[in-house]
Amino acid sequence: MEQFALEVEDLVMHFGPVRAVDGVTLRVRQGSVVALVGESGSGKSTVGRCIVRLLEPTGGTIRLADADVTHLNRRQLRPHRRDVSIVFQDPAGSLDPRLSVGDIVGEPLRLMRRKDIPAKVSEALRRVGLRPEVANRSPHELSGGQRQRVSIARALISEPRLLVADEPTSALDVSVQAAVLNLLADLQRDLGFACLFITHDLSAVEYLADEVAVMYLGQLVEQGPRARIFGVPAHPYTQALLSAAPVPDPAEQRARKPVLLGDDLPSAIDPPSGCRFHTRCPVAVDKCRTVVPESRVIGEGGHQVACHLVSDDGTGPDVRTVEGATP
């Protein structure tokens, strides 16, 4: 029987009239990495904050290691806090400037009333590539990459089953992004935690993820194994994202023709009817404008897509071959 570190069913998060997340269902297997990708404003970070219960969802269910934590209060959540940790996008904003690095990294253990905290903090810092002496310094004395390593050390010191990594490299210099990604990959392999990796960086997804979930305007439009999503993407939105992702070969990059989606992401206050992507989709038909597509399994490994134009065997239009692909 498969073990899941995270199971999210029909997750809904509305902020008044803003439908930030509207029916998201996904699972993260124990020991695997699932990347949640999409444009800014698609609702990715809101999903992550609901999972760690920084936000209480409007609807749906969140299960961590088989425990329903969807609507638990602060006291009821305490036994489950060690099962999940989060690394935020901006380490400068997520580390308390009034505390030393040692106090920041050791805080989860103090809340759990653990012993030998200084020794465990030193071990956690070494694990992320920092010298134990860094524990005596303040966050503002560190570089951006070092601060993010401190955030990762804090998140993993309680040995969580699930790590939510919310755009963990986007606020860093390009020169240190690869080092932090390599660190996450090494830690995930060595410690065996599950990871929900939230990002818009498809090169990082291809390097790190086992499975990919593609989000558009509060809903998932495609999910599946990384090899299938990158090799045979089915949804027009996924195809458009991949067409815009840079590749390392200069000649191939010059020859590529990215799909231009035209208008900006529609408003989550009044999302389009039918398929939410139809206003930007180069191949949309009348049905797309009126009928909401259901997510269906179309291939091996649980590959799923929510698109009227994709058949059950996975065949359908490829917007990367559509001449002048703009809606």
**132-141, 154-163, 237-246, 269-278: least confident range:** 237-246
Report the distance separating Cα 256 and Cα 235, nearest Å. 19
- pLDDT at 250 exceeding the cut of 80: no
19-32 confidence digits (pLDDT tens): 999 999 999 999 99
Q: What is the pLDDT of residue 259?
A: 79
Q: What is the pLDDT of residue 208?
A: 95
Q: What are phi and psi of 17, to 5 degrees?
A: -80, -10
* Percent over 70 (pLDDT), the chain: 94
* Per-residue pLDDT tens digits for 46-99: 999 999 999 999 999 999 988 999 999 988 998 888 899 999 998 888 899 999
User: What crossing angle do the helices spanning 144-156 and 101-111 adopt, rounded to 10°?
Assistant: 20
Q: Rounded to whole angstroms, what are the CA distances from 136 to 100, 156, 168?
A: 6, 19, 24
* Range 4-209: architecture per CATH: 3-Layer(aba) Sandwich (3.40)
187-226 residue pLDDT tens: 999 999 999 999 999 999 999 999 999 999 999 999 999 9
* pTM score, whole prediction: 0.94
Q: Is the predicted pLDDT of residue 327 greater than 80, yes or no?
A: no
Q: Where are the alpha helices (DSSP H) in the chain?
A: 44-51, 74-77, 91-94, 101-111, 117-127, 144-156, 174-191, 202-208, 226-231, 236-244, 250-255, 286-290
Q: Is the pLDDT of residue 264 over 80?
A: no
Please give the average per-residue pLDDT across 286-301, as a whole number. Answer: 93
Query: What's residue 266's pLDDT?
Result: 92
Cα–Cα dist 37/96, whole Å: 29
- What does the domain layout of the chain look like in residue ranges? 4-209, 234-327
| Among the listed residues 22, 68, 90, 7, the one whose alpha carbon sits nearest the alpha carbon of residue 306 | 22
List Cα–Cα distances, 52 to 6, 77, 297, in angstroms. Answer: 11, 10, 28
